[in-house]
Amino acid sequence: MAKTWLLCLLVLLLAFGVAVAGPEEYIDGEGNLRLENEYIAIFVNLGPENKGRFALDVTGGNPEHDGDNNKPLIYGHPRPWTSYTTVRIDGENYVFGGETSQRAGRDGKYGEVTQEPQVVDGEKIISETRMGGVAVTQVLSFIESTTTGFPDTAKIRYDVTNESDDDKRIGLRVVLDTMLGPNDGAPFRVREEEVLQDKVLIRDEIPEFWQAFDSLEDPLVMAQGDLRGPDLTPPDEVYMTNWGSLADGVWDFNFRPGREFYREGEFELDSAIALYWTADWLAPGETRSYTTSYGLAGIDIVPGLLSIGLSAPGRVIFDDFTQSFQVMAYMQNNLDVTARDVEVALDLPEGFEVIEGSQRHTRVGELEAGGRMQFAWQVAPKDDLIDPEMLNIQVRADASNTDETRATRQVEVMPPAALELNLEGPREFGFIEHAMDPNPFPVYGRVVNTGGSAAYAVQAVLVLPPGLSLVSSDKEHLELGILDPGEEVEFRWMVRSHGRPGDIPMAMEVSSRNTRDISVVENIDVPEWPQGIYLKWDDTERLRPGRVATALVKIGNLGDGVDFEFDLEYPAHLLKPMYISRGQLMVSGEEKLEFTRPDYDPESGVISGFAGDLMEKDDGSGVLARIHFLVRDTGEGMLELKNVKVSDIYGAPFDLGIGDLEFNIE
């Protein structure tokens, strides 16, 4: 049965153009779905219990550090279950993925797993759960660490779509059961603090990243969670606590500031972190994404009697949204005695300054044997404009009874992203049978990143004035995703004109997380539409003796709210009326609009009393009626509209062109 299901899944994915390798290729020895590179591995529980829950392992890890090879980053063997995600919907707490009988999330509600975990394009693991009228998609992939520069970090994204007809109040909580090799209770390092007890960070207190490791002397695994960045969604709250409390509380949990990370109800250290995005309204059909990341930390460690660890982003971008970057330094006294007159200094390139955090030069005083300290600085350029360059950041530690230790880290300043737009529609229009051609017409948009860095979460919106609208199958709002430097995206909207003439403006607005909102305006010259009522044959090939030919009574460009009356004269020796039916303009959805089907004498040559209204039809062009004639003989003839009265919604008559129809039956 399982193999049959996998085969069906493969066929469906291939049919939709998604590249999928043989599923068995990604199943590890413990039955998990596993995706890995030379640095880390993401593996996901395939169930039946805890389906969709994930964990991380180090594979090759830091190329310059062998101690982290094949160590866990998130607890997860033999199958992940301790880390889990809660979706809060209108005050009800649902756990993402399959149900559980284990401690973590046992008291939550569960929905239906509608997409089994699967590897897509060989680069991400996707799964989906529906719960409480909401579809939640989990997407796990690799990204580069901000501090190592390697793809040794897992990007964790949840896309939440409101599939109901009502507004939903949606929140999200992601629990990560961190584990650094064999160390299940490692402290969290946040700015100047080594966090060993329950702690919460709220909004502005939340840093760019936090790190975790056990010791500067011989750290096995150095981990990092990024909380802010152009491709991330900063959480509203971050809780650092013991795993047991988070396992028992699906949303609210037993949180006690000052309590050590001993697992609730037990006597073992077990640290974990919970990221909260507080509940906010989500409209029907709307999608909201939550993105964070967790992986390896880039910390340059210089051993010595005073060891130093220095960490900072490998690349920084200064733009309208990012004006500074975080530098972290760790110091440890490896002497057997107290270090005296300890001083720590941060050396910055010319043109940079510390705007928040530790002092650039700090007199620590005494630091006992084995003692640790950490320092954090928020560094910014003094001037607004910084040309791309390589910066050297240095931290010095010294004491009166030991030698100085220096750690240096390079930070590359990258040019920011910059978007350019183009919007283009048809240059001219024509008319075919009273109808503007083309209509609907294509409008082409183009967005190109001319900057030196990626633009994230790029979105384009087409803004149309009255008189123009999108066809029903198109969406005005397009998600373009990430645009790398030099990358260009082209797309098309189909727009319909409703007869309003003139030089009509339309606009495209583009936004991203790390560029200013920009827009472009393009004018469309819509010509004056000819208004009329006219006749044509549905199929001239059927205009042969002995066959039935259909004449169409059409109107062009009258707008909505139309009353009409008319008679029709025809050559009785050539045509015999067989049946009269309403046109598509006389139907609104499944409802038929008011239409008077006239009585007639087939031999009279006149059909009198056509009448109806289009008060419920927002359309001013199309077929009012169909007259089906039996063709009697060959010869020339004419269909003529007589006694035509067409008025608008206020009773004012239209000054119409009337198009009779000459024909020849051979």
Q: Is residue 10 in a domain?
A: no
Residue 540 and residue 518 in one domain: no
Residue 410 and residue 440 in one domain: no
Please, is 491 exposed, middle or buried when counting C-beta atoms within 10 Å of its C-beta (0-12, 13-18, 19+)? middle
Domain of residue 477 covers: 419-526
Residue with tokens 């009448």: 611
β 325-333/372-381 pair status:
antiparallel
Give the burial string for 562-592 (b: 16+ CB within 10 Å, else e): bbbebbbbbbbebbebeebebbebbeeeeee
Residue 165 and residue 217 in one domain: yes
Cα(221)–Cα(200) distance, integer angstroms: 24
Residue 497 and residue 558 in one domain: no
CATH number, domain with residue 614: 2.60.40.680
End-to-end distance of the chain based on CA atoms, in angstroms?
67
Give the side-chain half-sphere CA count within 13 A for 78. 7
Q: Which of 390, 414, 438 is the last residue of a domain?
A: 414
Residue with tokens 């085969």: 7
Residue 373 and residue 445 in one domain: no
Cα(250)–Cα(551) distance, integer angstroms: 69
Closest CA to 240 of 211, 215, 272, 214: 272
Cα(433)–Cα(113) distance, integer angstroms: 53
| Domains in the chain, number | 4
Phi first, then psi: give them for residue 2, nearest 5 degrees: -65, -40
pLDDT at residue 21 in the model:
40
Cα(213)–Cα(180) distance, integer angstroms: 7
Whole-structure pTM value: 0.81
Q: Report the SS3 class of residue 321.
A: coil
Q: Report the SS3 class of residue 611.
A: strand
| CA 328 remoteness from chain centre | 32
Q: Report the SS3 class of residue 254.
A: coil
Q: Is residue 301 in a domain?
A: no
Helix (H) / strand (E) containing 141: strand 134-143
Structure tokens at 297: 């930390």
Q: What is the dihedral of CA 260, 265, 271, 273, to 10 degrees?
A: -110
Q: Is residue 15 in a domain?
A: no
Q: Report the SS3 class of residue 307.
A: strand
CATH number, domain with residue 499: 2.60.40.10
Q: Is residue 624 in a domain?
A: yes
Q: Which of 296, 317, 341 is the last residue of a domain?
A: 296
| Mean pLDDT, each 10-residue run in order, the chain (666 residues) | 38 42 77 96 95 96 83 95 98 97 96 96 96 97 95 98 97 96 89 96 95 86 94 97 97 96 93 97 95 96 94 92 93 94 95 94 95 96 79 95 94 94 92 80 97 94 92 90 96 88 94 94 88 90 95 80 88 96 83 85 93 67 91 96 87 85 94
Q: How many CB atoms neighbour CB 492 within 10 A? A: 10
Judge whether 619 and 555 are in contact, CB under 8 Å.
no
Cα(96)–Cα(110) distance, integer angstroms: 7
Residue 471 and residue 547 in one domain: no
Residue 458 and residue 602 in one domain: no
Structure tokens at 538: 């549905």
Q: Which long-range contacts (CB under 8 A, 24 or more apart) does 57-65 make?
A: 58/221, 58/296, 61/152, 61/221, 61/296, 62/148, 62/152, 62/222, 62/296, 63/150, 65/219, 65/222
Q: Is residue 35 in a domain?
A: yes
Residue 510 and residue 559 in one domain: no
Phi first, then psi: give them for residue 516, nearest 5 degrees: -70, 150
Cα(609)–Cα(597) distance, integer angstroms: 8
Judge whether 483 and 467 are in contact, CB under 8 Å.
no
Single-letter amino acid code for the residue at 470: L
Cα(44)–Cα(420) distance, integer angstroms: 40
**Residues forming beta bridges with residue 568, ordered by sequence position:** 607, 641
Residue 55 and residue 183 in one domain: yes
Residue 390 and residue 404 in one domain: yes
Cα(259)–Cα(196) distance, integer angstroms: 8
Q: Is residue 448 in a domain?
A: yes
Residue 345 and residue 484 in one domain: no
Residue with tokens 């930390």: 297
Residue with tokens 């440890």: 332
Q: Is residue 276 in a domain?
A: yes
Closest CA to 385 of 410, 409, 415: 415
Give the burial string for 155-185 (b: 16+ CB within 10 Å, else e): bbbbbbbbeeeeebebbbbbbbbbbbbebbb
Residue 173 and residue 118 in one domain: yes
Q: Is residue 2 in a domain?
A: no
In order, the DSSP letters of 464-528 are --TTEEE-TT--SEEEEEEE-TT-EEEEEEEEEE-S--EEEEEEEEEEETTEEEEEEEEEEEEPP
Closest CA to 251 of 222, 274, 223, 221: 274
Closest CA to 258 of 195, 202, 207, 177: 195
Q: Which of 526, 557, 583 is the last residue of a domain?
A: 526
